[in-house]
Amino acid sequence: MLAWTIYLSFAGALVEALLPKGKPGLARWFALSVAVLALLHAVGGFAAGMGQGRQIIVDIPWVPSMGIHFLLAADGISRVLVLLTGLAAVAGILFSWNVEHRTNEFFAFYLALIGGVYGVFLSFDLFLLFVFYEIAIVPKYFLIAIWGSTRREYGAMKLALYSFVGSAMVLIGLLAAYTTAGSHSTSLIYLAHAGLPVSFQMWCFPLVFTGFAILAGMWPFHTWAPTGHVAAPTAASMLLAGVVMKLGAYGCLRVGIWLFPHGLDPWGFSFIGVGSWRDVFAILAVIGIVYGALVALAQTDFKFVIGYSSVSHMGFVLLGLMTLNQIGVTGAVLQMFSHGVIAGLLFAIVGRIVYDRTHTRQLAELETMHLAKRLPFAAWAFVIAGMASMGLPGFSGFVAELQVLVGAWIAKPWWTIAAGVGIIVGVAYTWRALQKAFFSDTLPSAHFLEHEHDPAHELAAITWPEVTGVVMLAGVSLFVGLYPRILLDTIEPAVKALLAGGGQ
Amino acid sequence: MNYADLFRATLPETALEIAALLVLVVDLGFLRKAALKTRVVVAALLGAAGCGAALWALQIQGNAGLNYGELTLLGAGTYIAVAQTGILILTALTLLLLIDSVFTRNAGEYVAVVLMAAAGGLIIAAAQDLLVIFVGLELLSLGLYILTAFAKSSGKSAEAAMKYYLFGGMSAAFLLFGFSYLYGLSGSTSLPRVVYGTYVASVHGATPLLYLALVMIAAGLGFKVAAVPFHLWAPDTYEGAPAPAAAFIASVSKVASFALLITISSVTLHFLETLHLHGIAVAMVIQAGTPLPPPPIVHGFRSAWPQTLMVLSTASMILGNLAALAQSSVRRLLAYSAIAHAGYILLALAFFTYSPLSTNAILYYILTYGLTTIGAFGVVSVIERATGSDRLDSFLGLHKRNPLMAAVLLVLFLSLAGIPPLVGFWAKFNLFAAVLSVSAGPVPFALVALAIGMSAVSLYYYLQVLKRAYVMPAIDETPIKAHPVTLIVLLAIAAAVVALGCFPALLQSWIASFYPR
């Protein structure tokens, strides 16, 4: 059932590309129905997989002479992330309802990207995973370069090159692991049991982990993220923050930690308290959390605030992975889901609901517009999204970040303390953005007063796709926050098996 | 050897030559009054049919090589047959691209020269003897010089041909000089004997003459595959030559030259493997009193040749990719990208194994690269006809001016950049996996890492072209028209690139089917 998410998305992309030009309505409805259909399959697969371990979905030899299989499978982690992808895809289409320029091409690239993302989450063959991972690069580039806004060509190229360099590092690691294990198979399950030499894992782990972590926005390789997010059209920044950054984090977990567990072993010496790759990456994650939050506090562009907040929140994911204990890694996976939903919502509000009406994202200009009065829906949606993003109890972010912090405390208490600073700053920047963008008392500009009663100056009314999207995403975050067991019951056994080494 | 054997062994070449003469007769004899368009179509189709006939001849020829006494002059079967089939198919494709071209009024001569050059390519791919190698190379090269100069009304074409010819003549001289040293060292022109002879000579003490000869040969062959530092002709030739000729140089000539490099590498390794198998033979070679060389240290070709290739490969990968970043002409960009691709292949030749693993990976790479690059030149030629230039800016707004052509360009360039699931990605993966599984150790690993890193760089310049085609606004939005035949050929190439990328085992098993089970 889950495999159909991939096939549907790619088939949808192909059909979109062939749809007649100049019929945006058709392209929109078609894309939405494909995405909803894929989401239904994702939900179905999630429901059917509850209480199940790893299930092989498809396994056919692809390149027999090299032992490469078209091997799709799902465990708890995959199912949760596929579900996230489905939600983000539907929401992204709802929030790009107003794309009028080359609409069918837009949705063709969009669905191709989604198909690649589904594919990564479901691949249990390292090679296949890599293929899907690279497939996702090209549509991202075109989505940003053609339909983006601020410095779009720069942002798109930067993103494409960062992704490609990251995937080049992964490819080197893939080739090395494949040949070191005897060139028999690229199946992840096989490689995880192949007993790769410890010395080999020691250098291959950081290579592969860094390669994936570039896409997860790990400091100091995060710089593509803010520029890319800001340049991207709303739907693409929702996908970038919502699912594409998760591709990187998922790769770190599924490939980095699963295949090269000994890469995290202590080096046997320590230098200013750093004694293993685990320490190195944990420190980078903590720096990312604090640095992202501090930089977000200083932004003048509303979208940059959200862009840097993503860097900060993804730091929690990486920190959770580096705790290497059950609760921390479970928290990391839940944080992937939670951040995917919340970041999608935040970008939708900033990019679609606010920017497409006000045509500015500068906080200083938004201050003069009294948006809380003129766009109450947007203001309240942002209040909810902001609370979720700050990690208030009752939202998914709370459960996830709490678990990561507990896991980090078990591993090394000072990681938790440092990351806690990030949370406090997180409250500050969200509050600041909320206050400045929506609830400011600053006197309106003369220009604004002049046109206050001009009907042409009225902001366009909120449309139904926007309401649907906001309700859907906020509802999911709230539901998971109130009843986290629905995801945790699926994630926990999979994490346990993965940390134990081989999986079931 | 008798004439029947000779005829049998050179059946495909003969078919090509007959086709070449036939084209000339038809074009100059029967179609003198006909419109240029008809003549071009007839000549191109006859030429393609000639390639088909040669393919058929290749089939019925079986695995008949050509021997003179104990010496093999022309090999046959296995990788040679794959390369020859590839050469013929690619030649036919470049001929079909001619139909849309207007650079010459002498269609018949053009096609005839292409066919003769292709015959040279077939000989090179099969050659096992220094003299035969040289004859084949000259046959191919002379054809290429003429083809480059074929646009007589274009000064660029003449300039490119002159540069190509001067560099080519020089490198041929180097090659011949190197061959003469090898002959002097070993007393034979047959490759296996040359390898044997140089081995014996170097066991008795290092001979600087051998290294000199190897460097000269590397210069000669490095020129053919456009490896740095013998690459200077490539950008000018790719830029100045008529598009179908450039496509021919970039594909067919490359396939033939790499087949020759495979021959040299595998003959060397085959000899050494036999040595290791029959220890007695070694003892016989080495006269009494000389200490037996320990097995890991191998002499003659084995030590110096891979090192030479490694140097060429590293230089080509780095310089090709970096120089391509700065190009504003798409043809020059393709030339530097060709240099980079040659670098990747040379890497696999430097870390070579006698088993079909390396050979197959190289063939896979060069055949798919040839196919893709023909398509790329096809698109460039269509755009050149419409806009009069191959500058990056003439690709502006292509997705509006001709959506199909833009889609073909997208597929081909992404394949060249090595994005899955297109065939270029599999070719690279195959190649690098072959290098790493043949030789473990830090050096091959570092070079593979360099190659992969460099192909990450290459995405930038391929995207520069695609960005113009898809992203940036068009200056001129008049539709670009392509001849239906060109369109069909280009779509077929793009479809093949996608299909072979999705089902990579197809081509692999096709190549493997040439090997005896």
Q: Are B345 and B358 in contact (CB under 8 A)?
A: no
pLDDT of res. A492: 87
B207-230 in b/e form (b: 16+ CB < 10 A) is beebbebbbbbbbbbbbbbbbbeb
Min CA distance, A94 vs chain B (Å)? 24
The beta-carbon neighbor of A146 closest among B437, B470, B504 is B470
Residue B204: predicted pLDDT? 67
Given a contact cutoff of 8 angstroms between Cβ atoms, the answer to whether A61 and A46 are in contact is no
pLDDT, one tens digit per residue, over A379-391 is 888 888 888 888 8
Model pLDDT for residues A58-115, shown as the tens digit of each residue:
888 888 888 888 989 888 899 999 999 999 999 989 888 888 888 888 899 999 999 9
DSSP state of A380: H
- Which candidate from A65, A138, A168 shows the least CB-CB separation from B452? A168
The percent helix, strand, coil of chain B (3-state, each to 5) is 75, 0, 20
Q: Say which residue the tokens 């945790």 belong to.
A: A488
Cβ-contact B439, B307 below 8 angstroms: no
* Interface with B, mutate which of A19, A62, A66 (most B CBs under 10 A): A66
Q: Report percent pLDDT > 90 for chain B.
A: 41
Residues whose CB falls within 8 Å of the CB of residue A84, separated by 6 or more in sequence, listed in order: A242, A243, A246, A336, A337, A340, A341
What pLDDT does residue B112 have? Answer: 93
d(CA B194, nearest CA chain A) in Å: 34
Mapped to the 3 state alphabet, what secondary structure does B48-97 carry? HHHHHHHHHHHHHHCCCCEEECCEEEECCCHHHHHHHHHHHHHHHHHHHH
CB-CB neighbors (< 8 A) of A161 in chain B? 456, 459-460
pLDDT of residue B376: 93
CB contact under 8 A, B505 and A65: yes
Longest dimension (CA), chain B: 81
- Which pLDDT tens digit goes with each residue over B356-381? 888 889 999 999 999 999 999 999 99
The beta-carbon neighbor of B448 closest among A137, A142, A172 is A172
Size of interface A-B (CB pairs under 8 A): 78
Q: Is A65 on the interface with B (CB under 8 A)?
A: yes
ipTM of predicted complex? 0.88
Q: CB neighbours (10 Å) of residue A154?
A: 15
Q: Is the pLDDT of residue A472 over 50?
A: yes
* β strands within A167-287, DSSP E: 266-271, 274-276
From chain A, the residues in CB contact with B413 under 8 A are none
Query: Does residue B356 sit at the A interface (CB-CB below 8 Å)?
Result: no
The token pair that represents A3 in the structure block: 């495999």
Of B436, B459, B471, the CB nearest to A175: B436
* Secondary structure of residue B392 in the 3-state scheme: helix
Model pLDDT, residue A227: 85
Tokens found for residue A222: 């995060």
In this model, does residue B80 exceed pLDDT 50? yes
Distance CA A425, CA A296 (A): 9
User: Is residue A448 scored above 80 in pLDDT?
Assistant: no
Selecting from B433, B456, B463 the residue whose C-beta is nearest the C-beta of A178 gives B433
Chain segment B487-502, per-residue pLDDT in tens? 999 999 999 999 998 8
Predicted local confidence at residue A393, as pLDDT: 86
% pLDDT > 70, chain B = 92
Give me the mean pLDDT over the B206-212 stretch: 77
> Under an 8 A CB cutoff, do A165 and B453 touch?
yes
Cβ of A171 under 8 Å from any chain B Cβ?
A: yes
Question: How close does chain A come to B408, measured CA to CA in Å?
Answer: 14
- A202 interfaces chain B, CB cutoff of 8 Å: no
* Model confidence, pTM: 0.90
Closest CA to A334 of A401, A392, A256, A393: A401
Put simply, the chain A residues between 274 and 303 with a CB less than 8 A from any chain B CB are: none
Mean pLDDT of A267-282: 83
pLDDT at B22 (0 to 100): 93
What integer pLDDT is reported at residue B339 of this predicted model? Answer: 94
DSSP symbol at B515: S
Contact (Cβ atoms closer than 8 angstroms) between residue B342 and residue B318? no
| Residue from the list A130, A145, A164 with its beta carbon closest to the beta carbon of B456 | A164
Tell me if chain B has a CB within 8 Å of the CB of A62. Answer: yes
Helix H or strand E segment including B208:
helix B208-224
Helix (H) or strand (E) holding A68: strand A68-74
Q: How far is A261 from chain B (nearest CA, A)?
A: 22
User: By the 8 A CB rule, do B395 and B465 touch?
Assistant: yes
Q: A408, A328 in Cβ contact below 8 A?
A: yes
- What is the C-alpha separation between B30 and B28, in angstroms, rounded? 6
Kindly report, residue by residue over B276-331, the tens digit of the pLDDT. Answer: 554 444 444 444 444 444 443 445 555 678 888 899 999 999 999 999 999 989 99
For residues B179-203, average pLDDT: 82
Put simply, the answer to whether A138 touches B414 (Cβ < 8 Å) is yes
Per-residue confidence band for A19, with pLDDT thresholds at 50, 70 and 90? confident
Mean pLDDT on A328-349: 91
Residue B223 structure tokens:
């020129």
Query: Which of A62, A127, A172 is facing B452, going by the closest CB pair?
Result: A172
Q: How sure is the predictor about A456, in pLDDT bands with cuts at 50, 70 and 90? A: low
> Which residue on chain B is closest to A65 by alpha carbon?
B505
| Residue that wins the pLDDT comparison between B55 and B206 | B55
Burial A283-307 (b: 16+ CB within 10 A, else e): bbbbbbbbbbbbbbbebebbbbbbb
Average pLDDT over residues A442-455: 62
Percent of chain A residues topping a pLDDT of 70:
96
| Interface membership of A161 toward B (CB under 8 Å) | yes
Nearest to B221 by CA among B181, B172, B187: B172
Chain B residue with CA closest to A164: the answer is B456
In the predicted model, what is the mean pLDDT of chain A?
86
Residue A20, classed as helix, strand or coil, is coil
pLDDT given at position B323:
92
Question: Nearest-CA distance from B266 to chain A in Å?
Answer: 22
Nearest to A141 among B433, B463, B504 (CB): B463
Residue B332 has pLDDT above 60, yes or no: yes
CA angle, corner A191, sides to A186 and A195, nearest 5?
150
Burial class (CB within 10 angstroms; exposed 0-12, middle 13-18, buried 19+) of B98? buried
pLDDT grade for A443, boundaries at 50, 70 and 90: low
Please judge whether A66 and B471 are an interchain contact, meaning their C-beta atoms are less than 8 angstroms apart. no
- Please state, in angstroms and rounded to a whole number, the distance separating the CA atoms of residues B334 and B324: 8
Predicted local confidence at residue B293, as pLDDT = 46
Per-position DSSP letters for A415-463, written without gaps between them = HHHHHHHHHHHHHHHHHHHHHHHTS--PPPPHHHHHTTT-GGGSPPPPP
Whether A418 has a pLDDT exceeding 50, the answer reads yes
Inspect the interface and report whether the beta carbons of B432 and A175 lie closer than 8 Å: yes
The answer, for B510 touching chain A at a CB cutoff of 8 Å, is: no
Q: Structure tokens of B79?
A: 């990788």
Query: For residue A134, which residues of chain B lie inside 8 Å, CB to CB?
Result: 419-420, 425
The answer to whether A176 faces chain B, any CB pair under 8 Å, is yes
C-alpha distance from residue B72 to each of B3, B69, B131, B196 (Å): 15, 8, 12, 14
Helix-helix angle B403-417:B442-470, to 10 degrees:
170
d(CA B282, CA B272): 10
Rounded to an integer, what distance in angstroms lies between the CA atom of residue B416 and that of residue B425?
A: 8
Pairing of strands B71-74, A274-276: unpaired
pLDDT one-digit tens code per residue, B105-146: 888 889 999 999 999 999 999 888 899 999 999 999 999 999
